[in-house]
Amino acid sequence: MLSLTEENYLKAIYHLSDDGSKSVLTNDLAAAMNTKAASVTDMIKKLSAKTVISYEKYYGVNVTSKGKNEALMVIRKHRLWETFLVEKLGFSWDEVHEVAEQLEHINSTRLIEKLDEFLGFPKVDPHGDPIPDNKGKLKIMPMVAIDQLNIGYQGKIAAVKDSDSQLLKYLDKIGAKPGTKLKILNKEAYDESMEVLINDHRIFISKEVSQNILVVE
């Protein structure tokens, strides 16, 4: 059983390690957790004792398969709650994260199974991120940001990358959410801005924005 704080550390490690595929350094984790390296070292020892990460002094940490599973269950809860907040309670896209950060720590298997059912077993959350199933299985779609694509590309927005609230507000305003139709009309070589068709509206977007709009490859 992990404490709330331990769950948050584990989740951060999981994300920083690119879903468990590389090791995470103490300082990076400290930055992500808004804490000091010394505190991280303390926590690393605890998580290591609980066998959710493996740890080699001075060389960073790796999530174990047990840890990966526990992290995915927290992510599952987070994304199901985000979906609930947007779909059922009418939260806007950019407001959900903070509340979901709290809700993800509610401990009840029954609750999360019932919630999943109530939501109709969604496959992705409102940002387009995949929701792990109750076994911790995650269906990852290979995606590209649209700044990598050429003029004439047509498809549907699959997800948005950053979870920055400002960006989400902006994307919401221009109607760019997962599921929305998108076409690349023009690209400006100078600043890599582009003109796109979103929901049949012509819009100019900067490179920064285009790097955050993802489509399935």
Partner DNA sequence: AAATATTTTTAGGCTGACCTAAAAATTATA
Partner DNA sequence: TATAATTTTTAGGTCAGCCTAAAAATATTT
| Positions in the binding site for DNA (CB under 7 A) | 3-6, 9, 25-28, 33-46, 55, 57-60
The residues that bridge with 184 in the sheet, in sequence order, are: 196
Q: How far is the CB of 60 from DNA (least distance, A)?
A: 6
Kindly write out the interface string for residues 103-122 of this chain, putting x where it contacts a copy of itself by CB under 8 A and - elsewhere: x--xxx-xx--xx-xx----
- In angstroms, the CA 63 to CA 52 distance is 6
Q: Which stretch binds a copy of itself (CB under 8 A): 33-41, 72-80, 101-109, 144-152?
A: 101-109
- For 109, phi then psi, to 5°, come to -60, -45
Please identify, using beta-carbon distances, which residue of 4 and 216 lies nearer to DNA.
Answer: 4
Please identify, using beta-carbon distances, which residue of 65 and 134 lies nearer to a copy of itself.
Answer: 134
Three-state DSSP at 216 gives strand
Count of C-beta atoms within a 10 Å radius of residue 89: 10
Q: Which of DNA, a copy of itself, none interacts with 31 (beta carbon under 5 to 8 A by kind)?
A: none
Q: How far is the CB of 45 from DNA (least distance, A)?
A: 7
Q: Which of DNA, a copy of itself, none interacts with 63 (beta carbon under 5 to 8 A by kind)?
A: none
Please identify, using beta-carbon distances, which residue of 39 and 211 lies nearer to DNA.
Answer: 39
Please identify, using beta-carbon distances, which residue of 44 and 171 lies nearer to DNA.
Answer: 44
The DSSP string of 118-146 is HTT--SB-TTSPBPP-TT----PPPEEEG
Q: Which stretch binds a copy of itself (CB under 8 A): 33-41, 58-66, 97-105, 208-216?
A: 97-105
**What burial letters (b/e) apply to 114-152, b meaning 16+ CB within 10 Å?**
ebbeebeebebbbbbbbbbeeeeeeeeeeeebbbebeee
**Taking a C-beta distance cutoff of 8 angstroms, is the pair 127, 163 a contact?**
yes
